[in-house]
Amino acid sequence: MREIDVSKIRDTIRDLCLKANFELREDILRALKSGLSRESEPRARKILKALIENARIARRHRIAICQDTGILTVHLEIGQNVVLVGGSLAGAIDKGVEEAYRVGCLRKSVIGDAISSRENTGTNTPAVSYIDIVDGDRVRITVSPKGFGSENKSVIKMFRPTDSTENIKEFIIEAVKMAGADACPPLVLGVGIGGTFEKAAYLAKKALLRPIDKRNPKKHIGKLERELIKDINSLGMGPMGLGGKTTVLGVNILETHTHIAGLPVAVNVSCHATRSAEKVI
Amino acid sequence: MKVLKLNMPLTKDVIARLKVGDEVLLSGFLFTARDAAHKRLYDLIKNGKPIPLNLKDAVIYYAGPTPPPPRRVIGSCGPTTSSRMDPFTLPLLKLGLCGMIGKGERSEEVRRAIKKYGCVYFLAIGGIGALLSTRVKMAKPILFNELGPEAVYKMEVKDFPLIVGIDSKGNDIYAKTKWKTK
């Protein structure tokens, strides 16, 4: 057994929150640059250049990439040979988040209840945490601050088991059209296929964590991702929905088992400032 | 693409000359307000009460900035989604609000009101809050401070980069985009 003090998890979460909010993911930055090299429309080019310049300023001056520093999703994969000591894990997660949002001058966007007082908790906590127990004696920590401009455009549909891949594609493309300019295109799409109602949504969220230039290793799923990228980029929506070839930077699908009667599909819409950071301890 | 340098307060003459798609560098004082502040202003107006904000010829920026890091006037401060403010916008336009800054589309009702009152809706690029913060000279919360990031700020901007999204004739930059389903 390996002992890990929860204070180490707290500090890691703090550091990762700061990194995710100040440093745009390398895969996203590469995709913005490659989008720029393909665009010919002056307005689309100008916007993509502004996004790249924004990432540079944020990294250099330690200012949040986007003012919507989000509600924080924390994914923990805890090896089953790990013993957590030194206090409560849930407390350590929220303390790490709180500290980052205070010292990093990040916006506190979390309210304590949804329809009663809607009062800001003032700390950007609680985070939304997902914990998986895995083999081994390590802890993988991934944080993802996500804004609600894009989160609000996310959709889920319970398809018939007999529906075709074409039906699923149409649904995903429709989600992009409905998201429109509000979700800050060029978008990143996380798609969850299979599981149950909530599992599909969880997979859609988790899919956003994968580098967008890595296709799903399952051949037919990777192919579906490539087809969706091509189809969505032919919509002409472009950056800010003002026209252009760069409408999505990436489409990441995660697929899993499901019930004979069902085929859940969830689309977690994310913006060009899709943020996450990860560390294994 | 024309780039026009404009100073606030904006006069109706200046606004009337702006055309959808024009690029603008805006300077001067504006107010920020987002969902919670809009709801409060709307409720005051609905109940026949005066609002503690002079909106005559004012511009509202739909934004909730991050707090200022040391030695900076403001943190990241890009636009939020404008359509969430649509249900609260008409009474503010009636009180003299002449411009709005945000991201994304507006409702048909708001587009018509922009035309009726001869106002303008500007787009700011979403998700470039760090870059936009370099164009902010001063920012201080002046109303509903208890709302934290949702408080109303008075903000001075210099050469704030915008695109005319809906002009005073009611022309909408998103009206003819081919990706739209309806």
B148, pLDDT greater than 50: yes
Verify whether the Cβ–Cβ distance A149 to B80 is below 8 Å: yes
B180, pLDDT greater than 90: no
Verify whether the Cβ–Cβ distance A107 to B75 is below 8 Å: yes
> Which tens digits make up the pLDDT trace of B107-135?
999 999 999 999 999 999 999 999 999 99
Set of chain B residues whose Cβ sits within 8 Å of the Cβ of A109: 64, 149
Spans of all domains in chain A: 2-22+65-146, 148-274
Set of chain B residues whose Cβ sits within 8 Å of the Cβ of A184: 103, 126-127
Verify whether the Cβ–Cβ distance A58 to B78 is below 8 Å: no
Verify whether the Cβ–Cβ distance B125 to A107 is below 8 Å: no
Set of chain B residues whose Cβ sits within 8 Å of the Cβ of A100: none
Residue B133: which residues within 8 A CB-CB, separation 6 or more?
A57, A63, B65, B72, B73, B74, B75, B76, B77
Query: For A67, which residue in chain B has the nearest alpha carbon?
Result: B76
| A65, A108, A271 member nearest B130 (Cβ) | A65
B38, B40, B103, B111: the active-site residue: B38
Confidence tier at B149 by pLDDT (50, 70, 90): confident
Spans of all domains in chain B: 3-166
How far, in whole angstroms, is CA A215 from its chain's centroid? Answer: 16
DSSP letters spanning B32-98: E--HHHHHHHHHHHHTTPPPSS--TT-EEE---PPPPPTT-S-S-----BGGGGHHHHHHHHHTT--
Residue B21: which residues within 8 A CB-CB, separation 6 or more?
B1, B163, B164, B173
Verify whether the Cβ–Cβ distance B65 to A54 is below 8 Å: no
Alpha-carbon distances, residue B9 vs A210, B27, B60, B99, B117 (angstroms): 47, 9, 12, 10, 16
Set of chain B residues whose Cβ sits within 8 Å of the Cβ of A236: 177-179
Extract the runs of DSSP E, i.e. beta strands, from B111-169.
120-123, 136-143, 152-166
pLDDT score recorded for residue B182: 43
B145 touches chain A (CB under 8 A): no
Architecture of domain B3-166: Alpha-Beta Barrel (3.20)
Contact of B51 with B37, CB cutoff 8 Å: no
The percentage of residues in chain A with a pLDDT greater than 90, rounded to a whole number, is 100
Its pTM stands at 0.96
B91 touches chain A (CB under 8 A): no
| A43, A67, A247 member nearest B78 (Cβ) | A67
Residues A217-245 have a mean pLDDT of: 97
pLDDT score recorded for residue A6: 98
> Which tens digits make up the pLDDT trace of B25-78?
999 999 999 999 999 999 999 999 999 999 999 999 999 999 999 999 999 999
A58, A21, A271: which is closest to B130 by C-alpha?
A: A58
- Residues within 8 A of A (CB atoms), B 5-44 only: 36
What type of residue sits at position B152? V
Set of chain B residues whose Cβ sits within 8 Å of the Cβ of A51: 125, 127-128
Residues A143-156 have a mean pLDDT of: 97
Determine whether B38 is an active site residue: yes
Residues B19-23 have a mean pLDDT of: 96
Residues A62-70 have a mean pLDDT of: 97
Other residues' Cβ atoms within 10 Å of the Cβ of residue A116: 8
Alpha-carbon distances, residue A272 vs A35, A127, A171, B82 (angstroms): 11, 22, 21, 18
| A42, A149, A240 member nearest B125 (Cβ) | A240
Set of chain A residues whose Cβ sits within 8 Å of the Cβ of B80: 68, 149
| B66, B126, B128 member nearest A107 (Cβ) | B66
Verify whether the Cβ–Cβ distance B75 to A273 is below 8 Å: no
pLDDT score recorded for residue B181: 53
B1, pLDDT greater than 70: no
